[in-house]
Amino acid sequence: MSHPHRRILLQSGAALGLLGGLGFAASALAASKVKPSAKSALIVVDVQNCFLDGGTLAVKGGNEVIPIINKLAAQFDNIVVTQDWHTAGHASFASTHAGKKPFETTKLSYGTQVLWPDHCVQGTDDAALGKELKLPTAQLIIRKGFHKDMDSYSAFEEADHKTPTGLAGYLKSRGIKTLFVTGLATDFCVAWTAMDGRKAGFEVYVIEDATRAIDLNGSLAAAWKQMSAKGVKRIQSGDIA
């Protein structure tokens, strides 16, 4: 004959153990969530027509970041938007250099420059922010790459690694400590912005699913490696509390 009481005790003991384990798992999950504070800023990099479907330098899947960024915006008190904002005949355009084709490189005064198709020319519809991007609470739009002879992937400093855009001063004078970087493209303007954010002393997260890459000759893997070496943290939009 079996022992019904003992069996019940064992079962409830097992159930308690299971619940305890679940509780632990839930708190571990909660602990890995990141909560933006009043000292955090969402940085939305170059979500412009030029990098979206039909644009002059369209990034594969670029449009997919828009609903993710629109949704993230609700969690942030501070939002900064950037725009790639080139002159016509800009030094980063292949068409400016005789005999050069897009995606080749050349040497400029500050080092090696990837040459791009003409893109994001100041004042054109191509350079406008994506129509579906809805960031009514964004407080600053910073434009970069407007010096004819110098590129600027980073929202903090131009390609000579000297000329500041003013963004670090703006963020610091507003008491911002932590940056959450999103947008296009992961391996160029997002990565350079994130790394220069570290250099300027900010804590920096890149929200991977809110970015898409150009991925030229392994540039995406290289960018993640460099970002991680500089202490940039890689998270997903679902990791934000």
The one catalytic residue in 118, 144, 151, 187 is: 144
Euclidean distance between CA atoms 70 and 75, whole angstroms: 10
- Site residues for ligand VGL, 206-235, by CB under 6 A, read none
CB of 65 closer than 8 Å to CB of 182: yes
Task: State in angstroms the smallest separation of the CB of 105 from ligand VGL.
Answer: 12
Among residues 41, 43, 189, 195, the one that binds ligand VGL under rule CB under 6 A = 189
Euclidean distance between CA atoms 79 and 140, whole angstroms: 7
Mention every residue, 6+ apart, whose C-beta is less than 8 A from residue 65: 47, 182, 183, 184, 209, 210, 211, 212
Among residues 84, 157, 158, 187, the one that binds Zn ion under rule CB under 5 A = 84
- Nearest residue to Zn ion, by Cβ distance, number only: 84
The residues with which 211 forms a beta bridge, in sequence order, are 183
CB of 167 closer than 8 Å to CB of 155: yes
187 binds Zn ion (CB under 5 A): no
84 binds ligand VGL (CB under 6 A): yes
Among residues 185, 194, 204, 227, the one that binds ligand VGL under rule CB under 6 A = 185
# chain residues binding ligand VGL, by CB under 6 A: 9
Tell me whether residue 144 is one of the annotated catalytic residues.
yes
Tell me whether residue 77 is one of the annotated catalytic residues.
no
In the bound state with ligand VGL, the residue whose beta carbon lies nearer, of 51 and 180, is: 51
CB of 178 closer than 8 Å to CB of 36: yes
188 binds ligand VGL (CB under 6 A): yes
- Paired sense of beta strands 78-84 and 203-212, if any: unpaired
116 binds ligand VGL (CB under 6 A): yes
Task: State in angstroms the smallest separation of the CB of 61 from ligand VGL.
Answer: 14
CB of 234 closer than 8 Å to CB of 180: no
The type of residue at 71 is K
Euclidean distance between CA atoms 184 and 42, whole angstroms: 14
In the bound state with ligand VGL, the residue whose beta carbon lies nearer, of 172 and 234, is: 234
Tell me whether residue 209 is one of the annotated catalytic residues.
no
Q: How wide is the angle at C-alpha 76 spanned by C-alphas 220 and 188, nearest 5°?
A: 20
- Paired sense of beta strands 40-45 and 78-84, if any: parallel
Return the range that interacts with Zn ion (CB under 5 A); candidates 19-27, 61-69, 79-87, 221-229.
Answer: 79-87
Name the residues that contact ligand VGL, by CB under 6 A: 46, 51, 84, 116, 153, 184-185, 188-189
Residues noted as catalytic: 46, 144, 189
Name the residues that contact Zn ion, by CB under 5 A: 84
